[in-house]
Amino acid sequence: MEIPGVSNPSPTPDRTTVPYRWRWMILVAMLVAEIMDLLDASIVNVAGPDLERSLGAGSVGLQWVIGGYALTLGAGLVLGGRLGDRHGRRRMFLIGMASFTAGSLLCAVAPNIESLIAFRLLQGAAGAMLLPQGLGLLRENFSGSELTKVFAIFGPVLGLGGIVGPVLGGFLIQGDFFGLGWRSVFLVNLPIGIAALIVAVRFVPRKAGDRTVRVDVTGAALVVASCTLLVLPLNQGQQDGWPLWTWLCMAASAIGFALFAVQQRRTAAAGRAPLVTPGLLRKPAFTVGLGGIALFFGGLIGTQLVLTLYLQIGRHFTAGGAGLGNLPLAVGTAIGGAVSGAFLADRIGRKVLHIGPLVQLAGAAVLWFELDGLDAASFSIWDIALGVAVAGVGAGMVIAALFSFILAAVDDDEIGSASGMLSAVQAVGGSIGVAVFGSVFFAQARTGDFTTGFHYALIVQACLLAAFLAITFLLPKKGRPEEEQHGIAPEAPADDTETDTEHLTV
């Protein structure tokens, strides 16, 4: 997952200033926050059967528990960055971390599925206040080559967090420690969150926000309403038989997003600060890139969910077994990301975004035939590991490069706003994917035909990948260098006439 940007990042510190002594402890706190988000985005995937037994959660309830978190997270990310600009990033980080930890406790003690869904929505909103502060805090306290090293550390650590989520969730649920069952997947956040709070309070320096920054409440409300009007019918439609209100909600959602674009332009024209830099929405490559982000991550998160559901519900895997069943996908994604990031993206440019989805489609085709030839009596994860791993390789190739090619379409002063918007669309796209793929799979699962449900999900994924592949031809041919994606300017060569005490600003 990309690090969410802030809407108005601070300039990189002057190298003549003495570096903050405890700046590396700030990195620790930021990494903990990002890992907690990754864990909560995936750790619940393996809790479906346990939630059904404990709280009577049906398919729609499970989709809301998983996708509701991503919905409020994505809808609030850009607003969270703006609040950090105004009120100070340290303050918003502490509020977000405390709220996220408290939300995890509320989820753990939820008495029914309705309460759990509400608490998951609150937890996502807390994450939206927490996560956008990381980039600004790091840029305020690191500079030059150190800042480059900081972001180089993020990639492997966050990749590991994505792998660990389902495995850890399965281990906790299957272990049923102290009889807690699924509740332990939320309680694990408490010691982590409290430790991160202590570190942040002690080591993150105080810095006042900019009170002249205006918070666009109207724009934020339009985003939240439009996202809700889109995800609500996608979650409920299959169960309710797609009544008229579901179609009206989706139409209203499209109108809401259009109104948001108009409102942002008018806000900027009036001299007020919009949530999103209006110039971004006038760049065709960036606009289609937003659609590509939604399509790609909707398909990726959706198929990962279906894989887990298939293993647990269709093949009666334990929670621990289903968690381990995600490892071929995770390993494939790591390999694809490493190959793309280290070799392909720089050498072949945009073509890496053409190859990635084609490899995913090849993996989906292999998986289709693997599912057809299964022996139910002797099934193991190895029977489908090849197709899942190949699909993961293709996904990793895209993940490692996609943001850089979309950000290449924006101006340097728009990177912060663009990065935050891409991260928000990524999260909301994941929520939509949970709703769509969950509905497709459960429509067949209710009849006991789990393999056909998986097949239908693969067809939906193929359609999304085909649309995504078409969009990639509209993106810039070369990606933006990674350091520039985080607002790190290259160091200028020293002037021969400088004295020993003079330094260039990075």
- pLDDT confidence tier of residue 155, bands split at 50, 70 and 90: low
More confident call, 213 vs 506: 213
Distance, in Å, from the CA atom of 135 to the CA atom of 157, rounded to the nearest integer, reads 16
| Predicted structure pTM score | 0.85
Give the count of beta carbons closer than 10 Å to the beta carbon of residue 19.
13
Q: What is the pLDDT of residues 55-86, one digit of tens each?
A: 888 888 889 999 999 999 999 988 888 888 88
**pLDDT given at position 181:** 87
- pLDDT confidence tier of residue 497, bands split at 50, 70 and 90: very low
CA angle 369, 374, 334 (to 5 degrees): 65
**pLDDT given at position 82:** 87
Distance, in Å, from the CA atom of 33 to the CA atom of 4, rounded to the nearest integer, reads 12
- pLDDT confidence tier of residue 485, bands split at 50, 70 and 90: low
**pLDDT given at position 475:** 92
Q: What percent of the chain has pLDDT over 70?
A: 89
Mean pLDDT value across residues 204-227:
86
**pLDDT given at position 5:** 42
Tokens found for residue 209: 């926000």
**pLDDT given at position 504:** 28
Q: What is the pLDDT of residues 349-399, one digit of tens each?
A: 889 999 999 999 999 999 999 988 777 677 888 889 999 999 999 999 998
CA angle 452, 372, 391 (to 5 degrees): 85
Lowest-confidence pick of 27-31, 68-72, 292-296: 27-31
CA angle 183, 187, 192 (to 5 degrees): 155
